[in-house]
Amino acid sequence: MTPRLEGKVALVTGSGRGIGRAIALKLASEGARIVVNDLDEAPAAEAVQAIRDAGGEAVACVGNVSATDFAERFVGTAVDHFQGLDIVVNNAGYTWDNVIQKMSDEQWYAMLDCHLTAPFRILRAAQPVIRALGKAELADGRRVVRKVVNISSVAGLFGNAGQANYAAAKAGIVGLTQTLAKEWGRLNVTVNAVAYGFIKTRLTVSAKDGDTAHIDGRDIKVGVNPELMAAMERSIPLGRGGTPEEAAGAVYLLCIPESDYVSGQTLMCSGGLTGI
């Protein structure tokens, strides 16, 4: 059987670790050629090697998605190495929580920059490439459907205490998704979002005192209080948090040809959780 994404070129931000890595591996397993991104060189290189070891093709574009020059460099990597661009997955992200009266401007803008401005810039940089490729294909009598999948969250749909910054950014990505679905339909591009619930990654595992992740030049406390995590899992109808591989499956559904007439939608991947 021919792989579902044979020959496609996919950009996946934040794909050196966690959900992004699982997405990159899943798309690669179905034939896509991947541009892997991570803040740090080591995890990006490891993900690239894992894809190559499995028989796939991948290159790395290391860097901070919030950097003003990142989008052009990321898109350029796909064009330079693979001469194409078919799938864009805006996945990179993290949380930096606080109640609103204690939230600094730095915390607020860090979440908007990473979760909303960075995807905007990447898609803006991708548009001329996608337009030119589509025009050439139509002149050749071919119609190719391309895919954008933006990652949102149930926090963006329903809000979440302590996450005004993150929830606002993730709500914004839904608006960006719906707008680009209208703008890019004429380019034969579907634009959808996946809203995750509780997915178990290094950023959501049980917290220990002092556990931090070095993100964007800052040491951010990571993890979830074990009691809170247990309560969260009890509230999920399926009774557990999701795995990165299950999270990747939701993105995959919106990248395959069977979803070519699905656009402007937000798919919840939350184990049945419909609120917070």
- For residue 156, which of 105, 110, 196, 121 has the smallest C-alpha distance? 196
Q: Which residues are catalytic?
A: 166
CA separation, residue 2 to residues 40, 197, 245 (Å)? 34, 32, 22
Give the integer Cα–Cα distance in Å for 67 and 118.
8
Task: For the beta carbon of residue 35, count every other beta carbon within 10 angstroms.
Answer: 29
Task: For the beta carbon of residue 239, count every other beta carbon within 10 angstroms.
Answer: 10
- List all residues 6 or more positions away from 189 whose beta carbon is below 8 Å from its beta carbon: 130, 145, 146, 147, 148, 180, 263
Give the integer Cα–Cα distance in Å for 51 and 56.
5
C-alpha neighbours within 13 Å on the C-beta side of residue 171: 12
